[in-house]
Amino acid sequence: MKEAFYVLYLLLLVSGLEALVTKPNSGNFIECLRYRISPENPITDAIFTADNTTTFLSSYVSYTKNTRFSSPNYKKLLAIVVAKHVSHVQATVVCAKSNGIQIRIRSGGHDNEGLSYMSTVPFVILDMHNLRTITVDVSSKKAWVQAGATLGELYVKINEASQTLAFPAGICATVGAGGHISGGGYGNLMRKFGITVDHVIDAQLIDVNGKLLNRSTMGEDLFWAIRGGGGASFGVILSWKIKLVEVPKILTVFQVNKTLEQGGTDVLYKWQLVANKFPDSLFLRAMPQVVNGTKGGERTIAIVFWAQFLGRTDELMAIMKQSFPELGLKREDCQEMSWLNTTLFWAMLPAGTPKTVLLDRPTDPVFSKSKSDYVKKPIPKEGLEKIWKTMLKFNNIVWLHFNPYGGMMDRIPANATAFPHRKGNLFKVQYYTTWLDPNATESNLSMMKELYEVAEPYVSSNPREAFFNYRDIDIGSNPSGETNVDEAKIYGYKYFLGNLKRLMQVKAKYDPENFFKNEQSIPPVHVM
């Protein structure tokens, strides 16, 4: 009897210890936060815990852009801190670290795999969306933008200050500046000006000790790493100082569709030969997608050609007639507009849509999956046809983006920033699918893997390169709570190529205990 009682006692003790190990005391964390915050910047209203289910869930879901991850892990998510002041960020880092709690940092919530707000070990979400101040200095052509600001907010603020200044970032207005910029975000100005990280001249970052650093106090190694290496492996990005670029008052855009029946495959093949050789001022994206055919019930592929030109229609027509007559561009296809209005055009919004729509922060997540590739030589027509055949197997929305390189992207060295994908690429591919039925998730993830496998012979290899901002857990990952170096090198070389070695060294110097980690973070390794 005594032996049975003793065994039961041991089982209870072990299970109690396991509970302590698997879920640290959130009360201690919250008390720590309150202790470290001054009364002038109260934090109580910024803390959401599972005790208050309604506000906790709405806070979680409000910046969860992928419905695959719309249910919080109540067993592991201890709190959401929606920071309203820099001291809230500092306290969250210090208190999470001292209590053995992992931290996930969320700016816009567009992480394709939910790593900025999901974990399988006890964690807190540091939500940055309230830190969204933007200041533009027209005379110096510079701006400060906080991590929680969206690209739409940044574009509107720049436009309010100047009609001829812009910033070379993405076309999705709801993306947060913190993650987008740190991962090497790009857009339709990339061939003329490069990408986001090529225009960052200073930054504010909260380090592993809760200290607020800028470029001069963090040092050039860390400043190099957060420009393209992602910020979440090194600290919390608070804000960026960016150089703005000059654009004409009037730009020209067009959208032209070519279905397979209209010779779309031939036109796209020719696009591969010319898109990276156009003048730097022309960005011409190709977007193959599944559409309904002319006959009832039939589906086909349409290649949608989206263009932006830093100039007027006459000049653009002359370029297209000389270099790409196969597209059959007509003058009436072209629209002239301001740079800010081009952002509405790329968002597929009708002409006349008020620019205030760029300030919206819609909470309409979808089930989605994204993957990426880099293409070094033209995909043969038979390769394109295999890709079309696979796309037509999908029962939901599926499209590809072929984003042309060349221009400035060829002229910036691969090690100038941590973003390595420069010269030698014809174009970058994004694969994307969305669906509405939760029961279709596994089949759609499987279909994306099949599409990715079909494309393998025609894209980069050894490693098969990937774009960090199009996060893809399939290319390699670690468990939430540990970072195996060998596994990290698998996904790390795909994202960062030869820059991974320096990134691991910077990580070892500034976060040697690997506090800032996730399933695809950079490990701290002293490389000889």
Active site amino acids = 470
Q: Strands of 47-48's sheet, edge to edge?
A: 47-48, 77-82, 123-127, 102-106
Q: Which helix (H) or strand (E) holds 236?
A: strand 236-243
| Farthest-apart Cα atoms in the chain, separation | 95
Integer distance in angstroms from the first to the last C-alpha of the chain? 60
Say if strands 236-243 and 142-146 run parallel, antiparallel, or are unpaired: antiparallel
- Other CB atoms within a 10 A radius of the CB of residue 40 amount to 7
Closest CA to 206 of 226, 187, 221, 180: 226
Can you tell me the distance from the alpha carbon of 149 to that of 58, in angstroms, rounded to the nearest whole number? Answer: 20
H-assigned helices in 149-299? 151-161, 177-182, 190-193, 215-218, 220-225, 264-274
Give, in degrees to the nearest 5, the angle at Cα 346 between 343 and 350.
90
Half-sphere exposure of 13 (CA within 13 A, CB side): 6
Relative orientation angle of helices 500-510 and 485-496, to the nearest 10 degrees: 120
Can you tell me the distance from the alpha carbon of 109 to that of 501, in angstroms, rounded to the nearest whole number? Answer: 28
Say if strands 102-106 and 77-82 run parallel, antiparallel, or are unpaired: unpaired
Q: Using an 8 Å Cβ cutoff, are 173 and 343 in contact?
A: yes
Three-state DSSP class for residue 275: coil
Q: Using an 8 Å Cβ cutoff, are 449 and 230 in contact?
A: no
